[in-house]
A and B are shown apart, each in its own frame.
Chain A
Amino acid sequence: MELKEKLVSSFLAFENKVDVDIDSNVHDIRSKAFSDFENKGFPTRKDEEWKYTSLNAVLSHDYNVFPKAETSLAYKDIKKYFVNETDCYNLVFIDGKFSSFLSETTHDGLDVCVMSSALTKPKYKMVVDAYFNKLAKENNSLSDLNTAFSNEGAFINIPKNKVVPKPIQILNFSTGNEQELLIQPRNLVVVGENAHVQIIERHQSLTSNTTLTNSVTEIFVNKRGIVDFYKMQNDVESASLIDGTFVSQQKDSVASVHTFSFGGKLTRNNLEFYQNGEHCVSHMNGISILNGKQHVDNHTLVQHKAPNCESHEMYKGIYDEKSTGVFNGKVIVEQAAQKINAYQQNNNVIVGDKASVNSKPQLEIFADDVKCSHGCTIGQLDESALFYMQQRGIPKKEAKALLMYAFSNDALKDVKIPELKTRINAIIAKKLDVKIGFDL
């Protein structure tokens, strides 16, 4: 059975099952989203936005949409995927189901809990009505599909003036109990005025069974709010991820999204920023280090709607073996958005003979008083630098690794959680297959 047909029949069953007795407009949103998805279908390479990424191989599996049984995991088995074990709020999902045993939630001064309760409990109705599906609605059919099946995920609501003392981790595990599994997490993050929060998100497959994750995260940053969002993508070769992250910013807010793609079969990141007030700052940093037949597609969009804003974008990619990388960065400056500074940088190194890179940095500018620039390079490691290091007794492999590390470091320096930085450095060192002999 075609995946699309399967989803159609699953949707009816799903809608009859979830939160049936609640008076809310969520049902309408789901139905609308599903009919949109039905009309549009899955994107193909004929769509300009999917020109370099084909979903055929990923969609040809017979995915199970609803996992049969709840699976529990022992903490010791998954401990290594937590960044700092004690000092975090944790939201753990196993095969798309929330695991309260492994999680640490809170309602004390801020809400760190799950989407399923936010969608059903009356006390969250106002927040859900105000924010849920306000950003993802006009997007591609995969966001629609996620919206149609939206039920579980993280719900994070930070009230005014609250500085969250420790990072929040969202961990999605797939156990391989199902042969082929499709999970669709849906996260909602609302950051109140003057509030500050750090969030780490990770998708991890624990077996080599095929997993497809179609995730959507909506982030709302109110006046002067600050949010740092870190995406760790270091999954096994059988797992694919389609991620949609949509950020809406109000006046004076600062939002940063860091994307670290080191693993997975196919990773597609749709990252969209909408700046609705003056003096917003947006940061997008990304590092992709790939080998094998991995494919990473980073699509970013920054829409400047208000004057005096800034956006900074930096994506670094290292491609080995048969991996392929795609970068598509779009900056739109609307006519009202004067005095904008928008910078976009995409640097790539091709290491593998069969590796390829497609890059498309786009600017669409309707305002005149702006400073916008983009730069894109594709090249190799500096031969003379390699020679210099070898001459001083550093073996070629290590010298190469050092250069690659230095190359990607620009996009790493803004990571504000020290433990996370150490963790990423370790992953990079492992990925480059060296022990870099200084304190990372």
Chain B
Amino acid sequence: MSKYTEDDLKKELETQEYEYGFYTDIESDTFPKGLNEDIVRAISKKKNEPEWMTEWRLDAFRIWEQMEEPEWANVNYEKPDFQAISYYSAPKKADPNKSLDDVDPELLEMYKKLGISVDEQKKLQGVAVDIVVDSVSVATTFKKTLAEKGIIFMPISEAIQEHPELVKKYMGTVVPKTDNFYAALNSAVFTDGSFCYIPKGVKCPMELSTYFRINEGGTGQFERTLLIADESSYVSYLEGCTAPARDENQLHAAVVELIAMDAAEIKYSTVQNWFPGDKEGQGGVYNFVTKRGICETNAKISWTQVETGSAVTWKYPSCILKGNNSVGEFYSIAVTNNFQQADTGTKMIHLGKNTKSTIISKGISAGKSQNSYRGLVQINARAENARNFSQCDSLLMGDQCGAHTFPYIEAKNTTAQIEHEATTSKIGEDQLFYCNQRGIDTEKAIALIVNGFSKDVLNKLPMEFAVEAQKLLEISLEGSVG
């Protein structure tokens, strides 16, 4: 048997195409391209929103107009032309009230190709799926079970109609309209997303999950997720994305807000596999996401993410540890290949006493990609006995890629304890040799090492999701994993 070397792996990585690159033709109800106050009003009207919502959007739009696109991130890309994007697109046949059986067979076919068909999802024990295709929910399952517990889980456009008091109270409290350029844009034009409310003391009996898709060429997708866990409740939320291959760049600017009230716990897991562009670096999704959660007393928020897709990723799931004894966690695997660029990390803002945060970030760069970790740990003057542990490891495959770390550590309290560690290396020849010596061939050995490298994070994913995460790692680094 010829020796399988890292060069072979590199070649394989370069030649492998995006498996999920297909395009399903669904009649779309698409707005003309461009963005102005009329478009914002039209989106609001289309969604049949109350007046306060329209005003909220317009306010955000005016703020956005004053803002400039940020340039500090360690990524290079052609700036999207915000006037060349259509801000609304909905599959025509979709109707949120339909049962699963009525779902467009074409759509079901699409999910099948992705290995996440609704049928399969239904059978997967304990998983409720709120599927979003091009911004409008087309199927919601397990709603009944959730309703029995008093859990509200629905598209945010419905929540605006049915639970305006909750939406009005919490939306924009964690990620304000003024937060950043993309958050402001999202606030103005978001078309759909998920809303979830867990009542006091309720432990959500199943993993909640949503699959986001970008389908219509030239359409940006602006998801808005609002998740509220009331006192002493628990929820585990899953989010996953895939997108069809398209030549022009597509923009994705989502906002996720989490609110964990006293003693509540939220576990938010993401598998992201937007189209990363072909191996020449053409096309691919721009993923500019603002995710943030706020923890009240004794609350806990845990972010887990597996980032394998997108041409450009700009994403920093953050925790504001406001209440005493609150806990923030961030577990991330970011894999970049070919010409992908990722600038991702987290912010842990310690405000309350005895707050704790853990950051585990694993970056794997291959091809000609650039992978950056950018994080902030801030211990404020009143955060007595705050504790942080951060670990960022990077693995480099091939000599054309780059791995970068930009950690910011700010301590304003004498009782703060902060540890930060980072390493960058390639797969050790001694490790490979050790495996070879024990009869494990090089391909398996590389798989073993990469698996071991990412294990800390994969372990944090819920069972149902770990399968898919493994699958996505496989696609991204085929030949080295599994």
Q: Which residues of A are in contact with B by a Cβ distance under 8 Å?
A: 48, 335, 338, 348, 350-380
Bound-state CA distance A140–B72 (Å) is 18
| Given A357-B410, A376-B418, A379-B417, residue A371 in contact with residue B425 (CB < 8 A) | yes
Asked whether, in the complex, the Cβ of B414 is within 8 Å of the Cβ of A380, the reply is yes
Asked whether, in the complex, the Cβ of A377 is within 8 Å of the Cβ of B405, the reply is no
Q: What chain A residues lie within 8 Å of B402 (beta carbons)?
A: 364-366
Separation in Å of the B337 CB from the closest CB of chain A? 14
Asked whether, in the complex, the Cβ of B420 is within 8 Å of the Cβ of A361, the reply is yes
Which residues, 92 to 135 on B, are CB-close (under 8 Å) to A? none
What are 9 A-to-B residue pairs whose CB atoms are below 8 Å?
A: A360-B406, A363-B424, A365-B424, A371-B424, A374-B422, A377-B418, A377-B420, A378-B379, A379-B417
Q: What chain B residues lie within 8 Å of A350 (beta carbons)?
A: 411, 413-414, 416
Separation in Å of the A305 CB from the closest CB of chain B? 15
Complex partner residue of B399 from A357, A367, A379, CB under 8 angstroms:
A367
> Interface 1/0s, chain B 422-453, versus A by CB < 8 A?
11111000000000000000000000000000
Nearest residue, chain B, Cβ from A325: B411
Asked whether, in the complex, the Cβ of A48 is within 8 Å of the Cβ of B72, the reply is yes
Asked whether, in the complex, the Cβ of B406 is within 8 Å of the Cβ of A355, the reply is no
Which residues, 42 to 81 on B, are CB-close (under 8 Å) to A? 72
Nearest residue, chain A, Cβ from B10: A368
Asked whether, in the complex, the Cβ of B414 is within 8 Å of the Cβ of A352, the reply is yes
Complex partner residue of B426 from A355, A368, A373, CB under 8 angstroms:
A368
Nearest residue, chain A, Cβ from B404: A364
Complex partner residue of B420 from A352, A353, A376, CB under 8 angstroms:
A376
Asked whether, in the complex, the Cβ of B405 is within 8 Å of the Cβ of A356, the reply is no
| Given A365-B402, A370-B396, A373-B423, residue A360 in contact with residue B418 (CB < 8 A) | no
Separation in Å of the B259 CB from the closest CB of chain A? 29
Bound-state CA distance A358–B416 (Å) is 12
Nearest residue, chain A, Cβ from B374: A362
Complex partner residue of A360 from B381, B400, B409, B421, CB under 8 angstroms:
B409
Bound-state CA distance A374–B390 (Å) is 11
Nearest residue, chain A, Cβ from B72: A48
Asked whether, in the complex, the Cβ of A360 is within 8 Å of the Cβ of B407, the reply is yes
Asked whether, in the complex, the Cβ of A378 is within 8 Å of the Cβ of B425, the reply is no
Asked whether, in the complex, the Cβ of A368 is within 8 Å of the Cβ of B398, the reply is yes
B interface, over-half SS: strand
Q: What chain B residues lie within 8 Å of A377 (beta carbons)?
A: 418-420
Nearest residue, chain B, Cβ from A340: B424
Asked whether, in the complex, the Cβ of A355 is within 8 Å of the Cβ of B414, the reply is yes
Which residues, 127 to 171 on B, are CB-close (under 8 Å) to A? none
Separation in Å of the B361 CB from the closest CB of chain A? 13
Instruction: Count A-B pairs with CB separation below 8 Å.
Output: 112
Asked whether, in the complex, the Cβ of B405 is within 8 Å of the Cβ of A361, the reply is yes
Asked whether, in the complex, the Cβ of B404 is within 8 Å of the Cβ of A369, the reply is no
Asked whether, in the complex, the Cβ of B421 is within 8 Å of the Cβ of A375, the reply is yes
Asked whether, in the complex, the Cβ of A361 is within 8 Å of the Cβ of B396, the reply is no
Q: What chain A residues lie within 8 Å of B409 (beta carbons)?
A: 357-360, 376, 378
Q: What chain A residues lie within 8 Å of B413 (beta carbons)?
A: 350
Q: What chain A residues lie within 8 Å of B394 (beta carbons)?
A: 363, 365
Asked whether, in the complex, the Cβ of A361 is within 8 Å of the Cβ of B422, the reply is yes
Nearest residue, chain B, Cβ from A368: B396
| Given A358-B409, A363-B403, residue A380 in contact with residue B422 (CB < 8 A) | no
Q: What chain B residues lie within 8 Å of A369 (beta carbons)?
A: 399, 426
Q: Does B412 contact A (CB under 8 A)?
A: yes
Asked whether, in the complex, the Cβ of B416 is within 8 Å of the Cβ of A379, the reply is yes
Q: What chain B residues lie within 8 Å of A335 (beta carbons)?
A: 399-400
Which residues, 382 to 400 on B, are CB-close (under 8 Å) to A? 394, 396-400
Complex partner residue of B410 from A352, A356, A371, CB under 8 angstroms:
A356
> Interface 1/0s, chain B 160-186, versus A by CB < 8 A?
000000000000000000000000000
Q: What chain B residues lie within 8 Å of A352 (beta carbons)?
A: 414
| Given A352-B414, A374-B422, residue A368 in contact with residue B397 (CB < 8 A) | yes
Complex partner residue of A373 from B408, B410, B421, CB under 8 angstroms:
B421
Asked whether, in the complex, the Cβ of A372 is within 8 Å of the Cβ of B423, the reply is yes
Besides A335-B400, A361-B407, 12 new A-B residue pairs in contact (Cβ under 8 A), listed by A number: A350-B416, A358-B411, A359-B407, A359-B408, A359-B411, A360-B407, A363-B394, A365-B403, A373-B422, A375-B421, A376-B407, A379-B418
Q: Does B415 contact A (CB under 8 A)?
A: yes
Q: What chain B residues lie within 8 Å of A379 (beta carbons)?
A: 416-419
Q: What chain A residues lie within 8 Å of B398 (beta carbons)?
A: 368
Q: Does B401 contact A (CB under 8 A)?
A: yes
Bound-state CA distance A366–B74 (Å) is 13
Which residues, 264 to 319 on B, are CB-close (under 8 Å) to A? none
Bound-state CA distance A404–B400 (Å) is 44
Nearest residue, chain A, Cβ from B399: A368
Asked whether, in the complex, the Cβ of B404 is within 8 Å of the Cβ of A365, the reply is yes
Separation in Å of the B373 CB from the closest CB of chain A? 9
Instruction: Name the 10 nearest CB pairs between A and B, nearest first.
Output: A368-B396, A376-B420, A378-B418, A356-B412, A359-B409, A372-B424, A373-B423, A366-B402, A350-B414, A379-B417
Separation in Å of the B214 CB from the closest CB of chain A? 31
Separation in Å of the B74 CB from the closest CB of chain A? 8
Nearest residue, chain A, Cβ from B409: A359
Q: What chain B residues lie within 8 Å of A353 (beta carbons)?
A: 414
Asked whether, in the complex, the Cβ of A380 is within 8 Å of the Cβ of B417, the reply is yes
Q: What chain B residues lie within 8 Å of A368 (beta carbons)?
A: 396-399, 401, 426
Separation in Å of the B120 CB from the closest CB of chain A? 39
Q: What chain B residues lie within 8 Å of A357 (beta carbons)?
A: 409-411
Bound-state CA distance A426–B396 (Å) is 46
Asked whether, in the complex, the Cβ of A362 is within 8 Å of the Cβ of B424, the reply is no
Separation in Å of the A427 CB from the closest CB of chain B? 23
Q: What chain B residues lie within 8 Å of A355 (beta carbons)?
A: 414
Nearest residue, chain A, Cβ from B6: A368
Bound-state CA distance A359–B407 (Å) is 8
Asked whether, in the complex, the Cβ of B416 is within 8 Å of the Cβ of A362, the reply is no
Separation in Å of the A49 CB from the closest CB of chain B? 12
Bound-state CA distance A72–B425 (Å) is 57
Nearest residue, chain B, Cβ from A359: B409
Bound-state CA distance A348–B399 (Å) is 35
Asked whether, in the complex, the Cβ of A362 is within 8 Å of the Cβ of B396, the reply is no
Q: What chain A residues lie within 8 Å of B425 (beta carbons)?
A: 370-372
Nearest residue, chain A, Cβ from B420: A376
Asked whether, in the complex, the Cβ of A351 is within 8 Å of the Cβ of B414, the reply is yes
Bound-state CA distance A335–B421 (Å) is 23
Q: What chain A residues lie within 8 Å of B423 (beta carbons)?
A: 371-373
Separation in Å of the B395 CB from the closest CB of chain A? 9
| Given A373-B424, A377-B420, A378-B418, residue A358 in contact with residue B410 (CB < 8 A) | yes
Separation in Å of the B179 CB from the closest CB of chain A? 19
Asked whether, in the complex, the Cβ of A378 is within 8 Å of the Cβ of B407, the reply is no
Nearest residue, chain B, Cβ from A364: B404
Asked whether, in the complex, the Cβ of B408 is within 8 Å of the Cβ of A360, the reply is yes
Separation in Å of the A363 CB from the closest CB of chain B? 5
Asked whether, in the complex, the Cβ of A362 is within 8 Å of the Cβ of B414, the reply is no
| Given A379-B418, A380-B415, residue A374 in contact with residue B399 (CB < 8 A) | no
Asked whether, in the complex, the Cβ of B420 is within 8 Å of the Cβ of A375, the reply is yes
Asked whether, in the complex, the Cβ of B399 is within 8 Å of the Cβ of A370, the reply is no
Nearest residue, chain A, Cβ from B425: A371
Bound-state CA distance A440–B235 (Å) is 59
Bound-state CA distance A80–B48 (Å) is 82
Complex partner residue of B404 from A348, A359, A363, A375, CB under 8 angstroms:
A363
Separation in Å of the A104 CB from the closest CB of chain B? 45
Q: What chain B residues lie within 8 Å of A363 (beta carbons)?
A: 394, 403-405, 422, 424
Asked whether, in the complex, the Cβ of A378 is within 8 Å of the Cβ of B416, the reply is yes
Bound-state CA distance A338–B400 (Å) is 12
Most chain A beta-carbon contacts within 10 A, residue among B407, B411, B415: B411
| Given A360-B409, A372-B423, residue A378 in contact with residue B72 (CB < 8 A) | no
Separation in Å of the A179 CB from the closest CB of chain B? 35
Nearest residue, chain B, Cβ from A351: B414
Q: What chain A residues lie within 8 Å of B414 (beta carbons)?
A: 350-353, 355, 380
Nearest residue, chain B, Cβ from A333: B424
Nearest residue, chain B, Cβ from A374: B422
Bound-state CA distance A362–B420 (Å) is 12
Separation in Å of the A202 CB from the closest CB of chain B? 30
